[in-house]
Amino acid sequence: MFGKMNINGVDYLIYYVPKKRDKRYMASVMYDMEKESEFKNFIVLTDDIQDVKMNDFAFGKNQVLVLEDNECNREKLKYLHSVDWARIVEDYYDNKVFLAGYHFCDYTDYEQKYVSTFYFLDAEKIYRIKCFLRENKCKNADIVCGAELEEDLRKEFPNARFVVVDLERYVEKVRIYYEVRFG
């Protein structure tokens, strides 16, 4: 464990995965996360996101955010829960999708559109979407994300429809609560 963080009232346990590590270290991190019972939200900071397999971090938790450890992403973490997704949906879907009651998507029209939003890569959400698509081969997903995530998400969902958004336009930066506790 690297530390704990509270972002807008949501507690996260943070792990760090360095580029130079052995298999035992990675197994230890995954074991710790899987067995963790107090926290349901995790952040995995890594030196190289291409070096991390998303499926390795799906444990049935709420969120497992995987991101490269750099200043830009650390700054973006402050606004994790400040993206106005409802406004994005309104702008791009003309109010034809609604908050979803499903665990694998964020918005839907309850017929053919299943919209998932990504501010960072979320291993749990990726896994849930893959399970849904595997069981419903005639259905597809819409992925709403920033340009920096598009390439990585296209690898996970090659048949998805992508809506690439300038997320900075939709971040409400005045509603920030940010606290870090290391130890």
Q: At what angle do helices 123-135 and 147-156 cross, to 10 degrees?
A: 40
94 and 142 both lie in a single domain: yes
The CA distance from 8 to 35, in Å, is 25
The CA distance from 115 to 33, in Å, is 27
73 and 106 both lie in a single domain: no
The whole-number pLDDT of residue 176 equals 46
The whole-number pLDDT of residue 174 equals 64
In a domain, 45, yes or no: yes
The whole-number pLDDT of residue 179 equals 59
In a domain, 180, yes or no: no
Residues paired with residue 66 on neighbouring β-strands, in sequence order: 44, 121
In a domain, 179, yes or no: no
The residue among 44, 63, 80 that closes a domain is 80
In a domain, 158, yes or no: yes
56 and 96 both lie in a single domain: no
Which regions of the chain are under pLDDT 70?
Answer: 1, 174-183
Identity of residue 59: F
Residues paired with residue 46 on neighbouring β-strands, in sequence order: 17, 68
29 and 55 both lie in a single domain: yes
Range of the domain at 98: 85-170
Instruction: Count other Cβ atoms within 10 Å, centred on residue 28.
Output: 13
Number of compact structural domains in the chain:
2
In a domain, 35, yes or no: yes
Instruction: Give the model confidence (pLDDT) of 12-52 as tens digits.
Output: 999 998 888 878 888 898 899 999 989 999 999 999 888 88
71 and 128 both lie in a single domain: no
The whole-number pLDDT of residue 1 equals 59
The whole-number pLDDT of residue 178 equals 53
